[in-house]
Amino acid sequence: MERWVYRTFVVGLMLLVAILIAPHPIATNDGPVHLAFSNLMVTLHQPGHPLQQKAYYISLGPYPNLTIYILLDSLIRVVPPDIAESVIQILSIVGPIAACYFALGMINPRNVWLAVFLLPLSLNQTFFLGLYNHCISIAAFFLAIATYYWMLKAPSFARAAAVSGLLILAFFSHASGFIMAFAGIATISAILATRSYFRSRDLRACY
Pick the residue with more confidence: 206 or 155? 155
pLDDT band for 119, please (50, 70, 90 cuts).
confident
* Whole-number pLDDT of residue 99: 92
Statement: residue 205 has pLDDT above 60: no
Which amino acid is located at 189 in the chain? S
Contact by Cβ (8 Å): 126, 135: yes
Pick the residue with more confidence: 179 or 122? 179
Spatial CB neighbours of 46, under 8 Å, sequence gap ≥ 6: none
* Whole-number pLDDT of residue 181: 92
DSSP H helical segments within 44-118, as ranges?
50-55, 66-75, 81-107
Buried b (16+ CB within 10 A) or exposed e, 194-203: eebeeeeeee
Buried b (16+ CB within 10 A) or exposed e, 130-152: bbbbbbbbbbbbbbbbbbbbbbb
pLDDT in tens, 123-179: 788 888 888 898 899 999 999 999 999 998 888 999 999 999 999 999 998 888 899
